């Protein structure tokens, strides 16, 4: 009897970690890996919203690389965003982490204030930044007008839109700040 219980408890001991991560695994396969695999399969088809799908092989990729000017424009904008955002995000996060790593009165409050934007819903952040960057009634252009500067069309002008997206994306710097903060504290 004890041998069976011992064997059963060993099996349960080995299965317990998998039971704890099973919700994440289910979510990963249902909402990330599954849709990613389906998009890969769909990329080899001419797949209209209504109607039959037709296998085209690499035809979509050939057309994308040779005939679609939007692809190269999108790739260039993505690279431009990455070149601007990644170093800026790292620098801001490191500076904030160094500031909150000091033992100054109130530093715990600043840790919370700097991290809160990271946990706010993406939809809420998009709406807030839409209000801030609105060219007619936006807060940022209003502040610029107080010092005599005509604010740009943040979200309409292509040369300013990338700047607006970088600024809005830097709003969630709290995750990287937290990583730097824990690294600084562990030194």
Higher pLDDT, 40 or 11: 40
| Whether residues 55 and 81 fall in one domain | no
pLDDT interval class at 5 (50, 70, 90): low
| Whether residues 50 and 76 fall in one domain | no
- Please compute the mean of the pLDDT values over residues 123-148 and round it to a whole number: 91
The pLDDT of residue 143? 93
| Whether residues 30 and 98 fall in one domain | no
pLDDT interval class at 58 (50, 70, 90): very high
| Whether residues 130 and 59 fall in one domain | no
- Please compute the mean of the pLDDT values over residues 143-159 and round it to a whole number: 90
- Please compute the mean of the pLDDT values over residues 142-170 and round it to a whole number: 90
pTM for the complete prediction? 0.71
Q: Is the pLDDT of residue 75 over 80?
A: yes
Average pLDDT taken over every residue of the chain: 90
CA distance 164 to 51: 40
The crossing angle, in degrees rounded to 10, of helices 122-132 and 158-169 is: 130
pLDDT interval class at 64 (50, 70, 90): very high
| Whether residues 27 and 113 fall in one domain | no
pLDDT interval class at 34 (50, 70, 90): very high
Which residue among 44, 67, 90 closes a domain? 67
| Whether residues 97 and 48 fall in one domain | no
Q: Which domain holds residue 123?
A: 69-187
The crossing angle, in degrees rounded to 10, of helices 69-100 and 158-169 is: 40
Q: How far is CA 167 from each of CA 3, 64, 113, 122, 179, rounded to the nearest angstrom?
A: 63, 30, 18, 14, 20
pLDDT tens sequence across 41-55: 999 999 898 989 999
| Whether residues 32 and 74 fall in one domain | no
| Whether residues 115 and 56 fall in one domain | no
């Amino acid at each position: 009897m004890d041998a069976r219980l011992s064997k059963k408890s060993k099996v349960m001991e080995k299965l317990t970690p998998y039971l704890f991560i099973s919700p994440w695994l289910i979510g990963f396969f249902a909402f990330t890996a599954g849709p990613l695999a389906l998009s890969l399969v769909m990329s080899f088809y001419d797949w209209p919203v209504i109607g039959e799908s037709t296998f085209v092989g690499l035809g979509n990729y050939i057309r994308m690389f040779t005939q679609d000017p939007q692809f190269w424009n999108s790739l260039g904008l993505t690279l431009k965003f990455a070149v601007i955002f990644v170093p800026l995000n790292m620098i801001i996060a490191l500076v904030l982490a160094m500031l909150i790593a000091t033992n100054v009165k109130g530093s715990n409050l600043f840790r919370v204030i700097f991290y809160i934007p990271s946990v706010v819903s993406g939809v809420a952040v998009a709406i807030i930044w839409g209000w801030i960057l609105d060219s007619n009634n936006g807060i940022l252009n209003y502040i610029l007008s107080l010092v005599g500067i005509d604010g740009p069309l943040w979200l309409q002008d292509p040369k300013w839109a990338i700047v607006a997206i970088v600024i809005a994306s830097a709003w969630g710097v709290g995750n990287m700040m937290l990583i730097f903060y824990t690294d600084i504290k562990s030194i």
